[in-house]
Amino acid sequence: MSQSRAAVNPCSMCMPLGSVLVFRGIDGCMPLFHGSQGCSTYMRLYLAHHFRESVDIASSALSEKAAVYGGAANLKKGLKNVIKGYSPKAIGLSTTCLAETIGDDVVRTVREFLEEEPDCRSITIIPVSTPSYADSHEEGYSAALLATVKALAERSKPNRKLNLVVGTMISPAEVRYLKRLLGDWAAEFILLPDISRTFDAPISADPPRIPAGGTTLEEIRDTANSLASITVGAWANHRAAGEYLEKEFSVPHYPLPLPIGLKFTDMLMGRIEEITGLHMPEAYEQERGCLLDAIVDAHKLLADVRTAVYGDSEMVLGLLNFMMELGIRPLVAATGGLSKAFEKLAKEIAPEAVVLAGVDFSDIDGEIAAQEIELMVGPFTGRQIARARKIPLLRVGFPNHDRFGASRQSLLGYQGAAGLVDDLANTLLEERERSSERSP
């Protein structure tokens, strides 16, 4: 652990940021932060850097007066203006440190607002408590997901559908992959939240104010009537939404890891087969064979490479497992959020690795030095360490501010894994070529 109590170069972000990833995955939903103007502006900037998309997040723009007398009036005004400006179908209302610390009762304010504004009652408002001091962006995501399901899921007629809940932040390309997979399977499904188009929007003649796409409110309501729920990215935590549907509506829930690498993808495929009674489509058997081929091709190059993996907890667990399959030696596994479950699972997957949870990059740097790491795999935030220590860095996951293609990166499924093998191998090869550039 760090010598000081300070957080030096954070490996996580704050809760409201995670909530935006969920709310932007709902059709016609506009995120609104109850807090000071800076929170929404900072997170808009942070997300725009990563996705290379314009990200509108409204704010109740609390001022000094509101901090003293309460922010209800500002919040009501904010809701009204968001409705006027964006004509949303839903509003994802996340609190911030300020709103929580001054003790604003957001749920009551929303109730009052709907009483005062009958015209606005058709709009679903989803409040969620997300103060930065409580937890990381990963937990903010989970909280918003649970709040969404709680606000909307509603029993009606059984629908024979499979709920595919995305339990942790993945890329638009990864959501597209999952949708195509289930489409090819001819399985009826509801995927929540769906950021495949909202964070990777095409250029169009008349861009809508809220980007098109996302899980519809109708679909979310219908999650209560599905055959079963699978939550991917729920190996350590992030199970609350699926568990809620199980408890309230008896929809069986199967938490799974993110399908990264062979075994974790096999687990997802097997579970879908069990639930749907349909075999995995032949094309994916082919993909699986090709992945094995790619792994075999690269096994000698990747053998025993001393590697550090860091970033969001579920991604790290998936990468760790895949590295063990590849014969890579993951020696450092780190995540920014505090999670006992992560620590335990990471240790099980990679017994040799030093596992760190609730850490910052100064902690990670210390272990990278101690373990004589040769390859780093994680978000761009590790770049200062990589540069200072001259270690090649393969950028994966969130955030990625200094390279193109974050929206198109996919680590999932047999296909994503094969691409990852190539990227790992090529990153090492480039480094070797660079460091062996001497005259013969």
Partner 1 sequence: MIVSIFEGREGHIQEKGASPLPLACSNESLAGAVSQRACVYSGARVVLNPLTDALHLVHGPIGCAAYTWDIRGSYTSGPRLYKNSFSTDMKELDVIFGGEKKLEKTIRELYAEHHPPAIFVYSTCIVGVIGDDLQAVCKAATEELGIPVIPVRSEGFRGNKNEGYKAACNALFQLIGSRDYAAKSPYTLNLLGEYNVAGDLWKVKPYFEELGIEVIASLTGDGRVEDIRRAHLAGLNLVQCAGSMTYLARKLEEKYGIPYRRISFFGLGDMSSALRTTAEFFGSAEMSAKAEEIIERERSRVGPEIERIRQRVKSRKAAIYMGGAAKAVSLVRAFQELGIEVVIIGTQTGDRDDYQKISYIVREGTVIIDDANPLELAELLERQDADLLVAGVKERFMAYKLGIAFCDFNHDRTSEFEGFDGMVNFAREVDVSINSPVWKLPLLRKSPLEKGVEEFSGGDDVSEPCCG
Residues 10-29 that bind partner 1 (CB under 8 A): 10, 12-17
Residue 111 tokens read as 């109730």
**Taking CB under 8 A as the rule, which mask of x and - marks residues 131-170 in contact with partner 1?**
xxxx-x----------------------------------
Question: What whole-number distance in Å separates Cα of residue 37 and Cα of residue 42?
Answer: 9
Question: What whole-number distance in Å separates Cα of residue 78 and Cα of residue 91?
Answer: 11
Q: Which is nearer to partner 1, 17 or 164 (CB)?
A: 17
Estimate the crossing angle of helix 15-23 against helix 137-152, to 10 degrees.
40
Question: What whole-number distance in Å separates Cα of residue 366 and Cα of residue 172?
Answer: 33
Question: What whole-number distance in Å separates Cα of residue 338 and Cα of residue 357?
Answer: 5
Q: Which is nearer to partner 1, 7 or 290 (CB)?
A: 7
Residue 261: which region, alpha, beta or left (left: phi > 0; alpha: psi -120 to 50)? left
Q: Which is nearer to partner 1, 67 or 341 (CB)?
A: 67
Instruction: By CB under 8 A, tell whether 385 contacts partner 1.
Output: no
Among 97, 152, 393, 394, binds partner 1 (CB under 8 A): 97
Question: What whole-number distance in Å separates Cα of residue 158 and Cα of residue 161?
Answer: 8
**Taking CB under 8 A as the rule, which mask of x and - marks residues 318-347 in contact with partner 1?**
------------------------------
**Taking CB under 8 A as the rule, which mask of x and - marks residues 258-287 in contact with partner 1?**
------------------------------
H/E segment holding residue 80? helix 72-86
Q: Which is nearer to partner 1, 18 or 318 (CB)?
A: 18
Q: Which is nearer to partner 1, 14 or 376 (CB)?
A: 14
Q: Which is nearer to partner 1, 13 or 302 (CB)?
A: 13
Is the CB of residue 86 less than 8 Å from the CB of residue 210?
A: yes
Residue ranges of alpha helices (H) inside 256-360 are 262-276, 282-302, 313-326, 340-349
Q: Which is nearer to partner 1, 16 or 257 (CB)?
A: 16
The least CB distance from residue 137 to partner 1, in Å, is 8
For residues 395-434, which are near partner 1 according to CB under 8 A? none
Question: What whole-number distance in Å separates Cα of residue 173 and Cα of residue 176?
Answer: 5
The least CB distance from residue 145 to partner 1, in Å, is 19
Cα 293 vs. chain centroid, distance in angstroms?
Answer: 29
The least CB distance from residue 68 to partner 1, in Å, is 9
For residues 40-79, which are near partner 1 according to CB under 8 A? 40-46, 48-49, 52-54, 56-64, 66-67, 74-75, 77-79
Among 37, 183, 218, 370, binds partner 1 (CB under 8 A): 37
Q: Which is nearer to partner 1, 67 or 292 (CB)?
A: 67
Angle at 417 between CA 414 and CA 421, to 5 degrees: 135
Written as one letter, the residue type at 12 is S
The least CB distance from residue 91 to partner 1, in Å, is 10
Q: Which stretch binds partner 1 (CB under 8 A): 189-197, 199-207, 239-247, 418-426?
A: 199-207
Nearest by Cα to 356 from 318, 391, 309: 309
Neighbours of 279 (CB within 10 A): 12
Q: Which stretch binds partner 1 (CB under 8 A): 33-41, 173-181, 406-414, 426-434?
A: 33-41
Q: Which is nearer to partner 1, 131 or 413 (CB)?
A: 131
Instruction: By CB under 8 A, tell whether 128 contacts partner 1.
Output: no
For residues 202-231, which are near partner 1 according to CB under 8 A? 203-205, 207, 209
DSSP string for residues in 334-386:
EESS--HHHHHHHHHH-TTSEEEES-BHHHHHHHHHHTT-SEEEE-GGGHHHH
The least CB distance from residue 158 to partner 1, in Å, is 40
Within 13 A of 434's CA, how many CA atoms are on the CB side? 9
